[in-house]
Amino acid sequence: MLRFLILFLFSILLHVSSQANVLSTPWEQTENSSKQLYKVQMHCESPLNTGEFQQCHLIINALNASRGTQSLEHLKILIGGGMPAHSHGLPTEPIINWSHASKTYLIKGLKFSMPGKWVLHFYIDDKENNIKDVVSFNFII
């Protein structure tokens, strides 16, 4: 009986620890912009979910070799999107600002209201070089 109890408790411990790892796994997706000017990675600290504000960043790299390692911290980025199947936009109005600490663009105020298919559009405005582009991310929560 004692062996059974120890085995049972050990299996519960394994299950709980595996669930904790799943919940803490970051989520990320990478897409190229529509004009193929930027490679954009959206990185979130945990899997996307409903009802909570998401902790996400955009990592933006120029795809044009002639632009080299030019800093892209001067870009103005706006966000749009929603659930196309339900014909509604985002439930919040997220803002995106450059983070000197992480050297990425921090997305503040992003929340999803229900499970399903979502799309996010990031409108990139490089006023210094007179360039406008957009990158879209499609995913299911």
Report the predicted TM-score, pTM, of the whole model to 2 decimal places.
0.80
Q: For residue 70, is it within any domain? A: yes
> Which tens digit of pLDDT belongs to each residue from 93-117?
999 999 999 999 999 999 999 999 9
Are 110 and 92 a contacting pair, CB within 8 Å? Answer: yes
CATH number of 111's domain: 2.60.40.3340
Are 58 and 42 a contacting pair, CB within 8 Å? Answer: yes
Q: For residue 130, is it within any domain? A: yes
> Could you give the dihedral angle defined by the CA atoms of residues 28, 33, 39 and 40, in that order, rounded to the nearest 10 degrees?
-30
Q: For residue 87, is it within any domain? A: yes
Please give the tally of structural domains in the chain: 1
Q: For residue 134, is it within any domain? A: yes
> Which tens digit of pLDDT belongs to each residue from 13-22?
444 444 444 4
